[in-house]
């Protein structure tokens, strides 16, 4: 079984008949709603695939997990995507992911949990066939193992640490004076476009100066120390607390 959320429907309409013809035991479970649903309905009607292609329509978030666990492979055919939370949710439910190589998707999951394809019917069919053969050969990780891997990636502590690294990098960068920024824009973007960008940069700089005059830095609250009393919420302290809890829950 495949589970699929509407996105890149034109690609899916070419994949379904080709793979259903090659693999008689293959079924598609499709969740989501959109104006191109009619394309999939026409494909299902044309190739008489009513018993193999289920169109679930819009799903409430609380129902997504129960649908995902019915499948083995999650197919994402997005043409543009920044992060794609859907593939994280699918992997967390133990599904092997096959996805287009667009946007930030290659950075979301490790290589052993996702097969990346070009956004074309041919490439996606090849990726799906590879995954199907691995599934039949028992070469894929079991759902519980996939879940255990994914659940360590995006904890709130992990997100906070990544965000902190970004802030640290920004703080260490040298801030160019406005005249240097204007010179760089004109030299790098050409005489016409560069002048337009430089003019916008000057307007933006003057607007920020105006905002600082309206709301001086002295009126802005400084972020409080969020490590808690006696630094109890630091990573080291949290690890020690977890170790103590493990010892308490597992007496020798």
pLDDT digits (tens, 9 = 90+) for 89-101: 999 999 999 999 9
- Under CATH, what is the fold of the domain 2-150? Rossmann fold (3.40.50)
5 versus 201: the higher-pLDDT residue is 201
Residues 46 and 17: their CA atoms lie apart, in Å, by 9
Residues 78 and 96: their CA atoms lie apart, in Å, by 16
Cβ atoms of 77 and 97 within 8 Å: the answer is no
Ranges in the chain annotated CATH 3.40.50.2000: 2-150
What does pTM read for this prediction?
0.68
Cβ atoms of 48 and 161 within 8 Å: the answer is no
pLDDT digits (tens, 9 = 90+) for 1-51: 555 555 688 999 999 999 999 999 999 999 888 888 999 999 999 999 999
- pLDDT above 70 (res 68): yes
Q: Report the b/e string of 55-87 with b at 16+ CB within 10 A.
A: beeeeeeeebeebbeebbbbbbbbeebeebebb
């Amino acid at each position: 079984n495949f589970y699929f959320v509407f996105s890149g429907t034109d690609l899916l309409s070419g994949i379904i008949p080709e793979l259903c013809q090659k693999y008689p035991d293959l079924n598609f479970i499709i969740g989501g709603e959109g104006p191109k649903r009619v394309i999939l309905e026409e494909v299902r009607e044309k190739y008489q695939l009513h018993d193999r292609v289920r169109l679930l329509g819009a799903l409430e978030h609380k129902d997504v997990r129960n649908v995902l666990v019915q499948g083995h492979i999650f197919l994402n055919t997005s043409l543009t995507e920044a992060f794609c939370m859907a593939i994280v949710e699918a992997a967390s439910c133990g599904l092997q992911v096959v996805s287009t190589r667009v946007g930030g998707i290659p950075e979301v999951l490790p290589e052993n949990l996702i097969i990346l394809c070009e956004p074309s019917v041919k490439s996606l069919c090849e990726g799906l066939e590879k995954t199907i053969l691995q599934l039949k050969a028992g070469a894929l990780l079991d759902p519980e193992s996939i879940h255990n891997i994914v659940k360590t990636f995006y904890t709130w502590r992990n997100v906070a640490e990544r965000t902190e690294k970004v802030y640290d990098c920004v703080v260490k960068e040298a801030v160019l004076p406005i005249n240097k920024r204007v010179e760089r824009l004109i030299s790098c973007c050409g005489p016409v476009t560069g002048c337009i960008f430089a003019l916008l940069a000057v307007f933006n700089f003057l607007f920020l100066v105006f905002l600082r005059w309206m709301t001086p830095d002295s009126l802005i609250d400084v972020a409080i120390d969020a490590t808690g009393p006696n630094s109890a919420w630091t990573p080291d302290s949290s690890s020690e607390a977890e170790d103590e809890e493990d010892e308490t829950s597992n007496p020798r």
